[in-house]
Amino acid sequence: MQMSFCRLLFLCSLVLLVAFPRESQAQAPDPLASRVLVVFNRNDGGSREVAKYYAKLRGIPEQNLCAIAPIDIVRLGWKEYISQIKTPVQKCLTEVGPGNILYIVFSYDTPYRVEGPDKRLNLVFAIDQQVSDIWDQYGPDFPQSRPAHAYYDEAHSKANIYQPFVSFADYRAQPGAKMIYSVWRLDAATPKLAKGLVDKAIEAEKSGLKGLVCIDRRWPLNTIEDNGYGAGDWDLHRAADFARQAGFRVIEDANPEEFGTGPAPGRCDDVALYAGWYSLNQYHDVFGWNTGAIGIHIDSLSAWSPRAGTNWAANAIKKGITVTTGSVEEPGLNGLVHPSGTFRDLFQGANVGDAFLRNTQFLKWVILYIGDPLYRPFPQGMPPFSKKKQSKEQPKVEPKEEPKAQPKEQQQ
């Protein structure tokens, strides 16, 4: 009995669908993919490889790849930063349209530290945060006083006062909005680890970020106020509270010791979200990171290098975390990413590129964001935060005291 051509074609198509399910069910490109500029080191094959890998997986247009040629992959002087980073990235932005880009992603083996313009002051900044205000609309290259940028949510943790979430795209679309960017990096000890940051983000978006939320505070709340170092604990407590409301199981520890040191919990496994403090320039290997896990560790050198050393960020990446942040130099407590507002915005459906920037007070400072800014761990949001509510005008909150995030033994 002869088989008709149409029937044969149907059966062949069915076989292909079964044999290649991933290709047939490819994830739709993120609508924000065209608003990402990817910066790579043209002199480094690993940097180019990671950049192209990211662009392919996320559907970022080829014209949004920006080549630079830095003389060093770690640290630049100020003049070198201007000629080898700022000027070529400005040129790339001009070619694709400065207003079309929201997120700038530095690929593996691109420099991340820059010496300040006045060598007498011996200051070092994060290149990423300089680029976040690459058109100098937020302030001068070296702000003597660091104002909060306009997209920042000036929250009050103890009073539970948070501004309604506004996406970065919506903020930038407002008349008179500053032309600032959310700047990230896909960087790690190896190109494979850097590419893994993208793989895990995409996988978590498909399957959903699940697991435990671990919060590592330091003091009983009835002994501290929401200022000075106490502000850090109130911020962490509110992050734990938001996670409970979103339905997560939460371990909230208030011992001065960190996880892994008694009487604090010995381990924190099956982790989806983490925030805590404090070991200076150290990582305690007591975490089991789920695919898509996000972690914020509060310490002054938490991202001294995204690739090597004893610092928290580099080692958390090696151990499997998907998104993290930290500082390359002393940030001051207020200069770090605030966990409570970050978690709250993520629970409202934000991507990490928006949530982290909205909860970082200063630009042109010392902070790195490491991971894929398009990663949206809770695309539909998490009740009750996913419900759209009419919010009342929030009272103005006075700026908090900005102490240095010193080691525990110096904070007692």
Q: What sign for the dihedral angle of Cα 169, 276, 162, 133?
A: negative
- The rounded mean pLDDT for the chain is 88
- Percentages helix, strand, coil for the chain (3-state, rounded to 5) are 35, 15, 50
User: For residues 98 and 377, what is the distance between their CA atoms, to the nearest angstrom?
Assistant: 27
Q: Number of folded domains in the chain?
A: 1
Q: Report if residue 2 sits inside a domain.
A: no
Q: Report if residue 280 sits inside a domain.
A: yes
- pLDDT grade, residue 146 (50/70/90)? confident
Q: Report if residue 63 sits inside a domain.
A: yes
pLDDT of residue 9: 44
Q: Report if residue 4 sits inside a domain.
A: no
The residue written with tokens 């900044």 in the block is: 125
User: For residues 166 and 130, what is the distance between their CA atoms, to the nearest angstrom?
Assistant: 23
Q: Report if residue 47 sits inside a domain.
A: yes
Coil, strand or helix: which one is 126? Answer: strand
Q: At residue 408, does pLDDT exceed 70?
A: no
Nearest alpha-carbon partner for 44 in 64, 80, 78, 74: 74
Q: Which amino acid, one-letter code, is at 79?
A: K
- pLDDT grade, residue 120 (50/70/90)? confident
pLDDT of residue 15: 40
Q: At residue 300, does pLDDT exceed 50?
A: yes
Q: Is the pTM of this model over 0.85?
A: yes
Angle at 343 between CA 205 and CA 408, to 5 degrees: 125
- Provide the pairing of β-strand 323-327 with 367-370: antiparallel
Which tokens is 323 given?
A: 């998104």
Average pLDDT on 213-234 reads 93
Domain that holds residue 263: 33-411
Please state whether the peptide bond connecting residue 278 to the residue before it is cis, i.e. omega within 30 degrees of 0.
yes
Judged by average pLDDT, the poorest of 10-14, 31-35, 181-185, 307-311 is 10-14
Nearest alpha-carbon partner for 299 in 250, 337, 262, 269: 337
Q: Report if residue 3 sits inside a domain.
A: no
Query: How many of the other CB atoms lie within 10 Å of CB of 151?
Result: 22
Q: What sign for the dihedral angle of Cα 280, 283, 284, 289?
A: positive
pLDDT of residue 353: 98
Q: Report if residue 197 sits inside a domain.
A: yes
Average pLDDT on 249-259 reads 95
pLDDT of residue 356: 98
Q: Report if residue 112 sits inside a domain.
A: yes
pLDDT of residue 403: 38
Q: At residue 40, does pLDDT exceed 50?
A: yes
pLDDT of residue 67: 98
39 close to 86: Cβ distance less than 8 angstroms: no
Please name the residue ranges forming H helices in 59-186: 78-81, 87-96, 127-131, 168-173
